[in-house]
Amino acid sequence: MELTTVWFALIAVLWAGYFLLEGFDFGVGMLLPVLARDNRERRLLINTIGPVWDGNEVWLLVAGGATFAAFPEWYATLFSGFYLPLLLILVALILRGVAFEYRGKRDDDTWRKRWDACIIGGSLVPAILWGVAFGNIVRGVRLDANHEYVGSFFDLLNPYALLGGLTTLTLFLLHGAVFLALKTGGEMRERAGRLAERLAPAAILIAGGFLAWTASTHHDVAGWLLFAAAALALAGAALATRARREGWAFLATGATLVIAVAGLFVTLFPDVMPSSIAAANSLTVDNAASTPYTLKVMTWVAVAFTPIVLAYQGWTYWVFRKRLTIERIPV
């Protein structure tokens, strides 16, 4: 297997890991005004992701860095053509990160509400725009013969991409609600479970529509099989949520996100950014890649350090595995 294909697959793994882990972070942030009734409950929800949210964002940094090093042409076209939505995502993530650190610095309700709004907005904006971005990548964008984006910002707001944004939004909300049902106890656990049960049908409808649309426009058998598996996993999440089997439900929502991302990348291959103007203008794993020597060095670095990073992050989740209850939150 060529190293260009290996690194395309590794970048897909990084994005799948990011959506799996940061997905429930975004879900928890968006659900603050829905599930929490007072400051203690908001602190309870934030504490469920407090030890891990910043580690989860590392997957995004590594995915971006790997794209820059392995496929610099893809990185350049993506970040220049999608400049405004990616800038909005970056600002939202910055405000969200600052809010986690600063909301408890003053004992003032107004102060905390302002930072809570940053957490909510900083979770909502990326949850939508990541879906819009990936929807456009899979659909294809206006690339000229020099592989430069020649469309406008409003070209990115097409129906297919907007449905992709709704898909990531609903899946992250469901993933976050299931995570909270798994991570909390008492009344909050029941409240989160009931909300997850109500969110599941909407997620099935919207995500199923997006995956069906994708499958109908890209005749790739492997992609179809992965989309079907993602749909089955999502249905399983709905059943597990109804039965209040939080662990199985969380595994199912996580599997839905991972398999769906895998399906999108399989459908995309060998392109990394198709052109909607002419197929010859598309960026592929070959014409967007770095030199073979660069890819070889990157591969050895990844082999050496990836197990260490995964082991450390797994250990972090193990240490903070216990359920949290409102009784543990000081008044």
> CB–CB of 298/69 below 8 Å?
yes
In tens, the pLDDT along 170-204 reads 999 999 999 999 999 999 999 999 999 999 999 99
Q: What is the pLDDT of residue 89?
A: 95
The b-or-e profile of 69-81 (16+ CB within 10 A means b, else e) is bbbebbbbbbeeb
Confidence of residue 306 (pLDDT cuts 50, 70, 90): confident
The b-or-e profile of 127-151 (16+ CB within 10 A means b, else e) is bbbbbbbbbbbbbbbbbeeebebeb
Angle between the N-to-C axes of helices 3-30 and 109-139, in degrees from 0 to 180, rounded to the nearest 10: 150
Task: Please tell me the distance from the alpha carbon of residue 173 to that of residue 241, in angstroms, as a whole number.
Answer: 14
In tens, the pLDDT along 110-166 reads 999 999 999 999 999 999 999 999 999 999 999 999 888 998 888 899 999 999 999
Strand partners, 269: none
How large a percentage of the chain has pLDDT more than 70? 99
Q: What is the pLDDT of residue 160?
A: 95
One of 3.40.50.720, 3.50.50.60, 1.20.1630.10, 3.40.640.10 is the CATH number of 3-328, namely 1.20.1630.10
Backbone angles phi, psi at 163, to 5 degrees: -65, -35
Count other Cβ atoms within 10 Å, centred on residue 195. 21
> CB–CB of 75/87 below 8 Å?
no
CA proximity to 183, closest of 33, 50, 304: 50
Task: Please tell me the distance from the alpha carbon of residue 304 to that of residue 222, in angstroms, as a whole number.
Answer: 31
Confidence of residue 1 (pLDDT cuts 50, 70, 90): low
Confidence of residue 100 (pLDDT cuts 50, 70, 90): very high
In tens, the pLDDT along 69-89 reads 999 999 999 988 899 999 999
CA proximity to 134, closest of 163, 98, 94: 163
In tens, the pLDDT along 9-21 reads 999 999 999 999 9
Residue 256 reports pLDDT greater than 90: yes
CA proximity to 238, closest of 201, 194, 190, 188: 201
Confidence of residue 248 (pLDDT cuts 50, 70, 90): very high
Task: Please tell me the distance from the alpha carbon of residue 25 to that of residue 32, in angstroms, as a whole number.
Answer: 11
